[in-house]
Amino acid sequence: EKRPRSSQTKRFLTSLESGIQKNCEVVSCMPEPLPELKNSYFLLRHGQSEGNVEGVISSARSLATSEKHGLTKLGYEQGVESATNLLDLLEQQHESSEDNTKNVIFYSSPFSRARQTAQACLDGMKGEAQSERAKQMGLDIQLDMIIEDGLMERFFGRLDAEPLSTYGFVWPVDMINVTHTEYDVESVAAVSTRIREVVLKIDEQHENCNIVLVSHADVLQITQCYAAGLPNVGLFSQYRFGNGEVRAMQRSETSLPEPAPLDPPEKA
């Protein structure tokens, strides 16, 4: 079934049709920092996808209405397993905070690998052990995910469908220029700008909830660095998310894991 697209995606599609920047919004600087938020946010990367196994970049906007490059069997299992890790994080938050945040709401990128991961995580929550654990924690888990176009994959322009190793043409430039659009890629600053819009929109719609954002590696790495206030968000590739990994979105630079500079990824 064809879903109505958000205004942001309409701008993306208009750009595609006109041939201007191939789905990228061009921005001249990083957005303002996120304000204090009313909800707690968690970041979940999709499980292993067919695109990961093929070893190709998979960022075309047409994938927002396609089942192409969905999860592998392992990827689905990683999504199910992420439910346990998410509950661990929710439990840690419950123990360290006085806030009574019981509602859990999933927002997902429209790409199939993200949607299927969100569903796999929700399936994991339905397991006997996890269901009992969630009940003991008093969690109210909404079983219907919300599709959010602003969470879709970072667009890689002329490098889309190329080998994963071509990330190596972009990430080093990201580190020194967060507004670059070499190869018609979506810039780090542009991703940060749309993520800010998404988070502020969600934060207006809910209060005192646990929001799970299911998305993609570059998008989530940029999100965690931007939210934490890292001075150079272009270093995001040093804070890599694994397939099916979930992290709390923290608001301090000290919350980030130890940076791990990466060589360009090899073909899977």
- CATH code for the domain of 75: 3.40.50.1240
Domain that holds residue 151: 7-255
5-21 per-position pLDDT tens digit: 333 433 333 333 333 34
pTM: 0.89
Within a domain: 46: yes
Both structure tokens of 176: 């020194």
| 158 located within any domain | yes
Number of domains the chain contains: 1
Q: What are the pLDDT digits (tens) for 217-237?
A: 999 999 999 999 999 999 999
Residue 267 within any structural domain of the chain: no
**Is 262 contained in some domain?**
no
- Looking at residues 112-120, what average pLDDT do you find? 98
Residue scoring higher pLDDT (93 or 78): 78
**pLDDT in the model for residue 22:** 45
Q: Does any domain span residue 263?
A: no
Question: 129-147, pLDDT tens digit by residue?
Answer: 999 999 999 999 999 999 9
